[in-house]
Chains A and B, each alone.
Chain A
């Protein structure tokens, strides 16, 4: 599938990707490389993985990273409760120690966590490693090993080799620098806030029933709002909420009802000081420009 076809397929699922991103995804699929997507919060990094899984008609396996993430949550863990019960039962049945051991450290007692699950699928799943920059450096190093070998060693069992190579998508929003080693292993795409046309296309794809005039106003308003000095710049998800709120209130023109517009701003502005900064006058000025 060439990158333009992929772009269309993504668009059919309601995800508007620009040329750069579509090409990066296309190459990640063609070359079998992990794809690292970086960008501000709310530009649709995570959503891309979800839509990609749809397009590829495969499962999405998600690993949310956080500081202190360890093997028992990311890779596998033994089902201790079952093991304990099983040992007790075996003692009553008079089973020998050796056979008990072989039994309780078998597949049956293994709890799969996302990474192990991802390499044991029949069909290549999309493995989303979300917010990799939140995990610590040790985990990053471990991940590198898995991403290059696609095999996991469980000491009690054996080395488990991938039955299918997952399509790996990593996301980061720059809370810390990632290691060069990880960056070099991945293809890279930087996703920015979309430009006017792209964002309009996104809005049309997600809310088909919105009027063209209002859609244009919404996008204009949100785009100029992003240029204001805000603590938390509204992302695409916020823009869609905003559009939903406006059409929910039955507003057809942004400048028509300042009170309602101000009320709808709750969907865009998420901190106290941002709310205070965007007063009715500022909002009206932005809406006036957008109209």
Chain B
């Protein structure tokens, strides 16, 4: 019996089927566009299109982009093309609401399972009043916000001003990363030959001046991930002020909060009015002081935001005590994945400031091998003292 999927009689043809297959892969997390559909069809002209043993490797070469994708491809291929002779009802799946982790700040863990039904979340980039969709938020808060807190009680605008100074100093400390590529400079360590040639034309081949090349300093970006779970509440005041300062110090910096889920707070914190920034933050930080899922949050970060915002010139700063409800392996795996993007990872642990502290929290132990710097920090002074360490990084 043929295992090949039967398509309904009104099926519009191979182009639609290919588009349907791409949509099927996209739904399963592969990153594909129209270009791949086109290429897939073109590829089928070069192989025996009726022979799955040829179309499978052909489409695999086109649709996969990483070892992970390759491993999953066979199942996805079977599910679409070889579903045991059943009739595929719809060639192209209907538009399901795009779950945009990048923009939406409220993909609560409870909502993921319910995905597909309900109103689509409209990405708002964290701007504007976040309580626009009252219904969804109410539901989320029933599950999550055991303790709701106004961050304005915690952090004073004066703290932010002080933290900003420290953050600016840290920012400049990190700028001392040298580029590998040389550029023309007044003082340099190599002769800029191209320039010498041009200038010596005017003096009959006599190179009178020798322009030089130097490796310029390149700015590093700081991305902060701040744990605001229950165990961290005492330190949140310092850290949030610090992050708020950091966001104001440089437009390229980025910040996130996590407790049981991950929320991007960079935009909210850049509000010119410090008090209003905190107000916006309180809205976003719904669930503050609850449980902590460090592993899941870091994992989500490394799969979504990090793909866009983290590169070789980024320092990822994690502010957390490492007490996690997930398995410790998750933290290790997530950090390893993050590290692959070429960034530096700093972990600031408030508990490490205590006398006789050992990183025995299993999550912390799993994280240690991936860290470039592991330091105590629970006061602004501690953060200021980081300057020297960062220069060395």
Which B residues are within 8 Å of any A CB, using their own CB? Answer: 31-33, 35-36, 39, 42-43, 46-47, 53-54, 57-58, 60-62, 64-67, 69-70, 180-182, 193-194, 196-197, 200-202, 204-207, 307, 311-312, 340-342
Q: Are A183 and B205 in contact (CB under 8 A)?
A: no
Known contacts A31-B43, A84-B197, A97-B201, A188 near B340 by CB under 8 Å: no
Residue of B nearest to A38 (CB): B67
Q: Is the CB of B61 within 8 A of A24?
A: yes
Closest to A83 in B: B197
On chain B, the residues within 8 Å of A83 by CB distance are: 197
Task: Kindly state whether residue A87 has any CB partner on chain B within 8 Å.
Answer: yes
Residue A78 interfacial (CB < 8 Å): yes
Question: With A and B bound together, what is the CA distance between A275 and B202 in angstroms?
Answer: 64
B61 to A187, Cβ gap below 8 A? Answer: yes
A266 to B289, CA, bound (A): 56
CB neighbours of A70 from chain B (8 A): 181-182
A211 at the interface (CB under 8 A from B): no
Query: Across the interface, do B200 and A84 meet the contact criterion of CB distance under 8 Å?
Result: yes
Contact A2 B47 (CB under 8 A): yes
A190 near B31 (CB under 8 angstroms)?
no
State A19–B181 Cα separation when bound (angstroms).
Answer: 41
Chain B residues with CB under 8 Å of A2's CB are 47
Q: How far is the CA of A33 from the CA of B65 in the complex (A)?
A: 14
- Which of A113-121, A174-182, A226-234 lies on the face that meets chain B? A174-182
Q: Check A27/B62 contact, CB under 8 A, given A136-B312, A176-B340, A184-B36.
A: yes
**Total A residues in contact with B, Cβ cutoff 8 Å:** 46
CA distance A83 to B199 in the complex (A): 12
Interchain CB contact under 8 A, A138 and B181: yes
Interface residues of A (CB under 8 A from B): 2-3, 19-20, 22-24, 26-28, 30-31, 33, 35, 38, 67-68, 70, 78, 80, 83-84, 86-91, 97, 100-101, 104, 136-138, 174-177, 180, 183-184, 187-190
Chain B residues, CB < 8 A from A183: 65-66
Report the bound CA distance from A20 to B56 in whole Å: 8
Whether A23 touches B61, Cβ cut-off 8 Å, given contacts A100-B201, A177-B340, A184-B31, is: yes
The interface residues of chain A lying within 8 Å CB-to-CB of B202 are: 97
Contact of B205 with A87 in the complex, beta carbons under 8 Å: yes
* Shortest Cβ distance from B340 into A: residue: A177
Task: Decide if B65 touches A27 in the complex (CB within 8 Å).
Answer: no
Interface pair A84/B46, CB less than 8 Å apart: no
Known: A80-B196, A184-B35, A188-B70. 7 other contacts (CB 8 A): A23-B47, A68-B180, A80-B193, A91-B204, A137-B311, A138-B181, A183-B66
By a CB distance below 8 angstroms, the chain B residues around A30 are 43, 46
Q: CB distance B197 to A78 under 8 Å?
A: yes
Residue of B nearest to A33 (CB): B39
Q: Which residues of A contact B54 (CB under 8 A)?
A: 3, 23
Residue of A at shortest CB range from B71? Answer: A190
> Within the complex, what minimum Cβ distance (angstroms) separates B178 from chain A?
10
B61 touches A20 (CB 8 A): yes
How distant is the Cα of A101 from the Cα of B200 in the complex, in angstroms?
11
